[in-house]
Amino acid sequence: MKGYWRQRSWIIVGFFGVVATLAAGVWTYGYRQALDQLGLRAEADLALASDRLSTQLQIYQELAVLTATHPGLRGLDNSPEMQAQANTLMVAIADKTGALDVAFADRNGRVLAAAQGLAGQDLSQTPYFERALQGALGTHHEVMPQTGRRAYFYAAPAFEPDGPVRGVLIVVADLEDVEQTWRGSLPPVFFTDDTGEVFISNRPELLFWQREAGQIGLGPATGDAPAFASVDVGEHEIWQLNWGPHVPRAGLHTTVSLPQIGMTGEIIVDVAPAARIAGLQAAALAALCLAFGALLFLASERRRALALANADLESRVADRTRVLQDTNVQLRREVTEREEAEAALKRAQADLVQAGKLSALGQMSAGISHELNQPLMAIQQFADNGAAFLDRGRSEKAGENLGRISDMAARMARIIKNLRAFARNESEPMGKVDLVHVIDTVVELTATHLKAEGVALHWSRPLTPVYAWGGEVRLGQVFVNLINNAVDAMADADNKQIEIAVHGGDRLQVIVSDTGPGIEEPEKIFDPFYSTKAVGSSEGMGLGLSISYGLVQSFGGNIRGANTDQGAVFTVELEPFGKEQAA
C-alpha cells in the first residue's frame, strides 16, 4: 500500500509541473496577443490625438497667413496713427480667435503693432522670425516669460507688391486652451520636442519631463528622475512607471512623428487589461487541467474501489435479481387484474349512465304517451274531416286539413327524434355543442311532465348560439336530471317555478333554480345513492345528481348546488368551445 501511494505522489507532482508549464505558455501567448490588439488601439488613439492637436494649431497657422495680407498693416513704419489702428486690429483678432498675442514686426524685427505681450520687443534674433524673413512659415514653442504660459508661435511673411518681405505677422497660440478640449479623454498622451521635453500633454503631471541623453527614463529638467524602466515584449515597448494615480504603472509606449509641428507624439496605454486577459486564459487552462486531473484521479480511485467491491456485488445482484423476478411476476398479475377491474368499472359506469337515462324516460313516460296520443287523435280527426270535405267538393278545406296532419306528423317526429337521441348510448367523442339547442330540446322533452305537475318554466333563451365543449346527449341528460329533481322537490310547494339562464365569460355557466324547499345537505347532494325521497319509491335511487356530476367533470367542467331565499340553485360550469379545441 505504501508503494502504491508513493507512486501516486510522484505522478501528482509531475502533473502539477506540466500544468504550471502549460499555464505559463498560455499566459505568454495570450499576453502577446492582447498586446497586439492593445498596440492597434494605442496607434489609433495617438493618431486621433495628433490629428486633433494639428487641426487646432492649424487654425492659428491659417490665421497668421491670412492676417499677413491685411491692408491695415501697410505703412506702419512712420505713422503713429496707423500703428494705433493696427494695435486695435491686433486686439480684435486676438479676442475673436482666443490667441495669446497677435503682432506685426518690420524687417528689422521691431514690433510695430501687437495685441499685448510682444509690443515693443525686438524679434530679430528669434528663429521663427528669421525663417519668416526667408519667405517661409516660421514656428516655435516656448514658455512666455511675461505670463508663464506655454505658447506656440506662427510667423508668416508679409510680401511687398514687387516681391521682397516687408514684415512678419506673428500669431501666438495658447497651448493650455488647446489642451482643454481633449484633456483626460484619452490614455496619457504627450508631445515632445527635439530635446525630449514634454511640452503638450493631456496629463498636467507629465509637463516638462524630459528624457535626457544617455538615460532610459523621463525626468524633470531639475531634480531626480521618477521610477522608470523599459522592457521589450516582442515588438512592443513596455514602460514600468510610478508617475502618479492618473498614469498607468505599466503601459505600452507608442510614438508617431509630427514634422508639421516639429514634435513627436507619444502615448502610454495601460497593459493591465492585457495581463488580466492572459491571466484569465492561463487560469482557465490550469483550472481545466486540474479538474480533468482530479476527475482522472477520482475515476481511477473509484475504479479501484469498484474492482474490490465487484465480487461481493455480483453475488448480491444475483440474489436481488431472483427476488425482483418474483416481484415482477406478481406485479404483472396485479396489473392485469387492475386493468380488468378498470374495464369492468367503465362498463358499469356506462351502464349506470344509460340506466339514469332510462329512469328519466320512465318518469316522463306518461307525459310522452300523452304528447304522442294527442297528435294521433288530431291526425285521425283531421283525416276524417278532410275526407268529408273531399266528398263535398271543398278541396281547399281538405288541403288545410292535410297541412294540419303534416304539422302534427312533424311534431311527433321531432318528439320521437329527441327521445331516441336522449335514450341512445352515446359513444361519440366530445366536441362543439350548442347549449341553447340542448336546453331547447330538454325543455321540449320535459314540457309534459312540467305541465302535469303544474310547474312554470322560465327559460331566458339567448338570441345567438352559445357553444360549449362536451357531448350533446350527455349534456341533455344532465339538464333533464336537474329539471326532474327540481319538479320532484317542489311536489308540495304552492309556487312552482323553474328558471334557466346562461351566462358567458371565461367559463360558461348554466344556472337552474327552483322555488322548492332547498337542499337539506348540500355537501352530500352529489354522493351516489343519496336521496331525500322515500326508500323504495319509484322516483329514483339517488343516482341522478351523481351521474350528472360525473358527466360534467368528464367535460372539464364543474357542477355545484346551493340554497337561496326562494329554494335551490344548481350552477353548471362548462369550458367554452375555442379555436385551440377546434384545432
* Nearest alpha carbon to residue 177 among 98, 115, 116, 95: 98
Dihedral sign from CA coordinates of 127, 129, 132, 133: negative
Q: Which helix (H) or strand (E) holds 570?
A: strand 568-574
DSSP string, 170-211: EEEEEHHHHHTTTTTSSS-EEEE-TT-BEEEESSGGGTTEE-
Least confident of 20-24, 256-260, 392-396: 392-396
> Going by DSSP bridges, is the β-strand pair 456-460/497-503 parallel, antiparallel, or unpaired?
parallel
Least confident of 180-184, 237-241, 453-457: 180-184
pLDDT in tens, 277-312: 877 877 887 788 878 877 877 877 777 777 777 767
Q: What does the H/E/C string look like for 503-549? A: ECCCCEEEEEEECCCCCCCHHHCCCCCCCCCCCCCCCCCCCHHHHHH
pLDDT in tens, 357-400: 555 555 555 455 555 655 666 566 556 666 766 777 777 766 76
CA distance 433 to 425: 17
Contacts of residue 260, defined as CB under 8 A and 6 or more positions apart, other chains included, come to: 54
Residue, of 545 and 53, whose pLDDT is higher: 53
Alpha-carbon dihedral 110, 113, 115, 121, rounded to 10 degrees: 20
CA distance 89 to 113: 9
Q: What is the pLDDT of residue 512?
A: 92
- Give CB contacts under 8 A, 24+ apart, made by 380-388: 382/408
pLDDT in tens, 177-223: 888 777 666 788 888 888 888 888 888 778 888 765 444 444 443 33
The count of other CB atoms within 10 Å of the CB of residue 116 is 16
Contacts of residue 49, defined as CB under 8 A and 6 or more positions apart, other chains included, come to: 182, 186, 189, 202, 265, 267
Instruction: For each of the domains in the chain, give its residue range(s) and CATH number, in order of start.
Output: 429-574 (3.30.565.10)
pTM of the entire structure? Answer: 0.47
Q: What is the pLDDT of residue 501?
A: 92
pLDDT in tens, 76-135: 777 788 888 888 888 888 888 888 889 898 888 888 888 887 767 888 888 889 888 888
Contacts of residue 347, defined as CB under 8 A and 6 or more positions apart, other chains included, come to: none
CA distance 572 to 482: 10
Dihedral sign from CA coordinates of 404, 406, 411, 416: positive
Contacts of residue 520, defined as CB under 8 A and 6 or more positions apart, other chains included, come to: 532
Residue ranges of E strands in 354-453: 431-434
Given a contact cutoff of 8 angstroms between Cβ atoms, the answer to whether 116 and 174 are in contact is no
271, burial (CB in 10 Å: exposed 0-12, middle 13-18, buried 19+): buried
pLDDT in tens, 520-555: 877 777 766 556 554 443 444 455 677 777 778 888
Q: What is the pLDDT of residue 223?
A: 38
Residue, of 455 and 371, whose pLDDT is higher: 455
CA distance 286 to 21: 10
Contacts of residue 407, defined as CB under 8 A and 6 or more positions apart, other chains included, come to: none
DSSP-derived secondary structure letter, 19: H
Q: What is the pLDDT of residue 333?
A: 80
Residue 421's alpha-carbon distances to 415, 549, 550, in angstroms, are 10, 21, 20
pLDDT in tens, 460-508: 889 889 899 888 777 887 888 888 888 888 888 888 899 999 998 888 9
* Whether residue 583 has pLDDT greater than 70: no
Q: What is the pLDDT of residue 362?
A: 57
Given a contact cutoff of 8 angstroms between Cβ atoms, the answer to whether 174 and 60 are in contact is no
CA distance 547 to 570: 14
pLDDT in tens, 303-338: 777 777 776 777 777 778 788 877 887 888 878 778
570, burial (CB in 10 Å: exposed 0-12, middle 13-18, buried 19+): buried
CA distance 112 to 119: 7
Q: What is the pLDDT of residue 537?
A: 39
